[in-house]
Amino acid sequence: MKSQRSSFKYLIAVVSLAVFASGCSTTPTGRKQLTLKSDATLAAESTRAMAQLRATSALITDRATIDYVACVADAIVGTLDDEDAALYWEMAIVNNPEVNAFVMPGGKIVVKSGIMSVAKNQHQLAAVLGHEVAHVTANHANERATRSDLTGFGIEVLAAVLVGDSANYYSRNYDPNMASGVYGAAGTFGQLGLLNPFSRMQESEADDIGLIYMAKAGFDPREAVTLWQNMNSSSETTKIPEFLSTHPSGDTRIESMVSQLPQALALYNEAQANGLNPDCQP
């Protein structure tokens, strides 16, 4: 009983710290977030990972393709302010048919060439890159790592409390089957009930922020809807139930984007009136 009380006290202490820290930063949407990791450490890790990727991956060397993607990326980054604008933004285009792009903390953008099969013009590519840039400006990697650590700790505490003495290898009550079952169930709950919904929330937030970025840069936000229609019809798109996925379904993303279009179109029209009319040629 004493060990259970100690576990609960420790859990309460961690949760209290999380609640306090969550008020220290916000995303571009104004959402308060919890980031307990070191941004400098994550950025340094990303720099090493990017260097390794460049050294071990087949990169696109075609100048026209590089210039095209860089043109769109530069226009998106040009909408940023303050610390986000001051980041050392770096991009690599990998010669890989996978329909994907991703980012790492510190402004490292990786585009796989297969994305061009669904992003058929500069506006649709801007929807992809705006989304990825938003992950960086919203500090999603730090927040996700923090959430994962706290969830893992919570699962350990929950499982230990539920299993009790039967999880103690040195106890006469040790029951390996019960311990394995409870820890497995707790892990599944943590993934499906906590981590996956959180990841889907981040993806939706990056969609919203990215839509604003592309519109402010002068790209037509309506093309983001077309992009996801293309993604839905692509054979590369994995069809799995949304609750099992770390990403919202394509239909969910389209519905959300359509609801955001009035605001995005107002920004797009303003950008056009101010002479922001990108001409990035594939």
Catalytic annotation, residues: 132
Ramachandran area for residue 82 (φ above 0: left; ψ -120 to 50: alpha; else beta): left
Ramachandran area for residue 275 (φ above 0: left; ψ -120 to 50: alpha; else beta): left
Rounded Cα distance between 75 and 73, Å, is: 5
Rounded Cα distance between 254 and 232, Å, is: 10
Count Cβ atoms below 10 Å from residue 106 Cβ, excluding itself.
Answer: 21
Q: Work out whether strand 25-26 and strand 90-94 pair parallel, antiparallel, or are unpaired.
A: unpaired
Q: Is residue 23 packed enough to be buried (19+ CB in 10 Å), middle (13-18) or exposed (0-12)?
A: exposed
Distances (CA, A) of 72 to 66, 90, 197, 234, 242: 10, 13, 30, 23, 30
Residue with structure tokens 């103690």? 168
| Structure tokens belonging to residue 21 | 């820290």
